Amino acid sequence: MTATGTYSPQPGAAPLARMIAAQAVLETKMLLRNGEQLLLTVIIPTLLLVLFSTVDVVDTGDGAAVDFLAPGILALAVMSTAFTGQAIATGFERRYGVLKRLAASPLPRWGLMTAKTLSVLVTEVLQVVLLTVIALTLGWDPQGSALAVIALLALGTAAFSGLGLLMAGTLKAEATLAAANLVFLLLLVGGGVVVPLDKFPEAAQDVLGLLPIAALSEGLRDVLQHGAGMPWAGLGILTAWAVAGLAAAGAFFRWE
Amino acid sequence: MRSEPVVQVQVLVKRYGTKTAVDGLDLAARQGVTAVLGPNGAGKTTTVEICEGYRRPDSGTVRVLGLDPVRESAALRPRIGVMLQSGGVYAGARADEMLRHVAQLHARPLDVDALIERLGLGSCGRTSYRRLSGGQQQRLALAMAVVGRPELVFLDEPTAGLDPQARHATWDLVRDLRDDGVSVVLTTHYMDEAEQLADDVAIIDAGRVVAQGSPEELCRGGAENTLRFSGRPGLDVASLLKALPSDASAAEVTPGSYRVTGKVDPQLLATVTSWCAQHGVLPDRISVERHTLEDVFLELTGKELRS
C-alpha cells in the first residue's frame, strides 16, 4: 500500500455553497439544453404573447391587449418552469437514478432541492427579462409596485414547485410527462392566462379563481394592469397552495 | 493495514411486503476487495444498498467505516463511492460534464482528465449520456464512484454486460484501487470475477451468506476435489479403493475412465500412480481437477450461479 498512490483515499465533501452552486449550474444547463423544455418555457409563452397581442383572437376587455396579456404570460412562464418543466425533469431524473446517485454524494438532499429552486429562479429571471422586453416593444405600459409583483412571482414559484415535485416524486416519469403537459394546457386555457376569467360561466369562475394559476395571473393583472396595491387575496391563495403542495411533496416524494 | 472491518453487517433482515430479500445476513468486509457473489435475486443489491444508506434494515445492525449508514449518512457519504447497477446520470449530460460535476462535490477529487483517459471515456466527446454505449455508461458510473477519492467503494455488478476488453479495464482499475489502499465491495454473479479480484468472497443465496473466505479457502474447504485418469476398461476398482485413504472414493465413470474423489494432495496422487504401477496400468491421461467457486456454490446451494 503506497501512501501517495493515484487513488489513495483523500475523502471529503466540498464546501456546501460550492456544491449547491455547482448543482444549480448543472441543473440550469440541462434545462436550457433540452428542446422540449425550451419549447415550454420560452417559445410557447413568447408566441402566445406576440400572437394574442397583435391578432384580435380573444376579447381582452378595455385597453391595449398587451396590458391584459403580459401579466398572464408572466404567470404562464412561472408555471411552465416551476411546475411543468420541473415536474418533467425531476420525474425523469428519478426514473434514471440521478436523484438516487446524487443522494449518495456529499450533497445533502436539501442542498439538491435548494439547487433545483435556484435553477428555477435563474430560468424565471431569464424568462421575465425576455418577455418584458417583448411586451414593452409591443407597447406594454406596466403599473403598480415591483415589490407586489416579486411577492406574487415568488409565492407562485413556491406553489407550482410544490405541486410539480409532488407529481414528479409520486408518479411514473411517463405519467408525469403526460399529466404535467395536460395540466399546463388546461390551466393555460382555464386559468386567466390569455382568456379572461369572466368569459366563463359565473359558477365556474369562483372555482377557477382558486386555482394557483388564476390567483397568480389575476394578481399580476391587478397590479400591473390596474395599479393595485398588495393583492392579498391572490397571495393568500398562492400561500395555501404552496404550503399544501410543499408539505405533500415533502411527505410523499420518493427518491427512486 | 487496519484489521477492523470496513463493513460490518449483523443478522440483517430486509423484507419487501411478504418477500424476504435479506434473511439474517452476516457479513464482514475487511480492507481490500470483497466480492459478494450470488445469483440474481439472492439479496446482493439490497444488502449493498442498505450499506450505502438507501434503505433502512427491518432488523439487524450495519456499520460502514464504523458509521450507521442511515443515521450518520452525512458523515459517511463523503467517504464512500457508489456505482449503481445502472443509470445515475442526467440523460442530456456529457460524460466529462457529469464526472466533473461529481468531482466538484468533493474536497480533493482525482484529476478528471486523467481518469477520463484511463477509462477510455475521452472518445465520448460531446455525446450525451443517453447516446453512450452500455459499456461507456458503465465506465462513467465507475469513474463517478472513484473520482472523490473515497476510502471505500461499492460497485454493484460493475462488469455486467461488458465486453472482455472493458471488463479487464475495470478489473485493472479495481486492482489499482486496492493497491492504493481503497477498499472495494463489489457484487457479481461472475465467479471468475470474484476469483480474479477478491481477497475475500461472501457467497450469498436466498438472503444469507452461505460461505465466506478467500477464494483459495473456499475452494479448498468443504468441497471435495477430484482426480481423473484413463486406462484400460475393467480395472479392479475395489482394490484401488483399498489402497486409498478411507474418506476417498473411486469409480469407473465410463469404461476406461476413472474418477477418484477426496482430499486430493500429493500423497493421494502418489498412491494412485503406485497402484497403477503395481497393476501394470499406464494411465494415458491423469488430471487433478480443482474446484472452482462455481462448484462450491453449486454444492452449497444446489443451484447454478448463472441461471
What the block records as the C-alpha cell of A250 is 415533502
CA distance B106 to chain A (A): 4
B245-253: list long-range contacts, CB under 8 Å, 24+ apart: B245/B271
B299: phi then psi, degrees, rounded to nearest 5: -65, -40
B183/B275 same-domain check: no
The pLDDT assigned to A135 comes to 97
Q: DSSP letters of B61-119?
A: EEEETTB-TTTTHHHHGGGEEEE-SS--S-TT-BHHHHHHHHHHTBSS---HHHHHHHT
pTM of the model: 0.86
B140/B189 same-domain check: yes
Residue B305: inside a domain: no
Adjacency order of strands within the sheet including B225-230:
B249-254, B257-262, B225-230, B285-289
The pLDDT assigned to A207 comes to 93
Nearest CA in chain A to B101: A22
- Contact: B180, A5; criterion CB under 8 Å: yes
B41/B106 same-domain check: yes
Residues B155 and B52: beta-carbon distance below 8 Å: no
Q: Which residues of B touch A24 (CB under 8 A)?
A: none
* Alpha carbon distance B173, B144 (integer Å): 13
Q: How far apart are the first and last CA of chain A?
A: 37
DSSP A13: B
Residue B155: inside a domain: yes
The pLDDT assigned to A3 comes to 55
What the block records as the C-alpha cell of B304 is 447454478
Q: Where does a domain end: B197, B220, B243?
A: B220
Residue B268: inside a domain: yes
B229/B211 same-domain check: no
Nearest CA in chain A to B70: A104
B189/B230 same-domain check: no
Residue B103: inside a domain: yes
- Partner B contacted by A104 (CB < 8 A): yes
The pLDDT assigned to B304 comes to 64
Q: How many domains does chain B have?
A: 2
Residues A103 and A83: beta-carbon distance below 8 Å: no
Strand partners, B287: B228
- Contact: B89, A98; criterion CB under 8 Å: yes
Which portions of chain A are predicted below pLDDT 70? 1-3
Q: Which residues of B touch A108 (CB under 8 A)?
A: 74
Residues B91 and A96: beta-carbon distance below 8 Å: yes
B129/B214 same-domain check: yes
B20/B91 same-domain check: yes
Q: DSSP letters of chain B?
A: ---S-SEEEEEEEEEETTEEEEEEEEEEE-SSEEEEE--TTSSHHHHHHHHTTSS--SEEEEEETTB-TTTTHHHHGGGEEEE-SS--S-TT-BHHHHHHHHHHTBSS---HHHHHHHTT-GGGTT-BGGGS-HHHHHHHHHHHHHTT--SEEEEESTTTT--HHHHHHHHHHHHHHHHTT-EEEEEES-HHHHHHH-SEEEEEETTEEEEEE-HHHHHHTTSPEEEEEE-STT--HHHHHHHS-TT-EEEEEETTEEEEEE---HHHHHHHHHHHHHTT---SEEEEEPPPHHHHHHHHHSS-S--
B188: phi then psi, degrees, rounded to nearest 5: -160, 155
Residues B262 and B245: beta-carbon distance below 8 Å: yes
Which helix (H) or strand (E) is A78 found in, with range? helix A65-78
Q: B240: domain range?
A: 225-290
DSSP three-state, residue A14: coil
* Alpha carbon distance B171, A50 (integer Å): 59
* Alpha carbon distance B146, A145 (integer Å): 52
Residue B43: inside a domain: yes
Which are the contacts of B248, defined by CB distance < 8 A and separation ≥ 6?
Answer: B241, B260, B261, B262, B263, B268
* Alpha carbon distance B95, B88 (integer Å): 12
Q: Which of B70, B106, B184 to mutate to test the interface with A (most CBs of A within 10 A)?
A: B106
- Contact: A103, B97; criterion CB under 8 Å: no
Q: Which residues of B touch A29 (CB under 8 A)?
A: 97
B107/B236 same-domain check: no
Other C-beta atoms within 10 Å of B253: how many? 9
Residue B1: inside a domain: no
Nearest CA in chain A to B100: A22
* Alpha carbon distance B156, B86 (integer Å): 9
- The alpha carbons of chain A give a radius of gyration, in whole angstroms, of 20
B210/B230 same-domain check: no
Domain at B107, CATH number: 3.40.50.300
Q: Which residues of A touch B86 (CB under 8 A)?
A: 97
* Alpha carbon distance A234, A155 (integer Å): 10
Domain positions in chain A? 16-252
B159/B283 same-domain check: no
B15/B71 same-domain check: yes
Which are the contacts of B278, defined by CB distance < 8 A and separation ≥ 6?
Answer: none
Q: Where does a domain end: B220, B248, B279?
A: B220
The burial of A29, by beta-carbon neighbours within 10 Å (0-12 exposed, 13-18 middle, 19 or more buried), is given as middle
Residues B187 and B8: beta-carbon distance below 8 Å: no
The pLDDT assigned to B307 comes to 46
Nearest CA in chain A to B73: A104
B11-17: list long-range contacts, CB under 8 Å, 24+ apart: B11/B59, B11/B60, B11/B61, B12/B47, B12/B50, B12/B57, B12/B59, B12/B60, B12/B61, B12/B62, B13/B57, B13/B58, B13/B59, B13/B60, B14/B43, B14/B46, B14/B47, B14/B50, B14/B55, B14/B57, B14/B58, B14/B207, B15/B58
Nearest CA in chain B to A27: B90
The pLDDT assigned to A200 comes to 92
Other C-beta atoms within 10 Å of B282: how many? 8
What the block records as the C-alpha cell of A3 is 501512501
The amino acid sitting at A32 is L
- Going from the C-alpha of B169 to that of each of A239, B105, B122, B228, the distances in angstroms are 55, 26, 15, 36
- Contact: B90, A105; criterion CB under 8 Å: no
CA distance B67 to chain A (A): 14
Between residues 48 and 67 of chain B, which touch chain A (CB distance below 8 Å)? Answer: 52-54
Helix axes A146-170, A65-78, angle to 10 degrees: 40
- Contact: B104, A93; criterion CB under 8 Å: no
Q: How far apart are the first and last CA of chain B?
A: 38
Residue B153: inside a domain: yes
pLDDT along chain B (307 residues), means of 10: 82 95 95 93 94 96 97 97 95 96 98 94 90 93 97 96 90 96 95 92 93 85 74 91 90 90 86 92 85 77 62
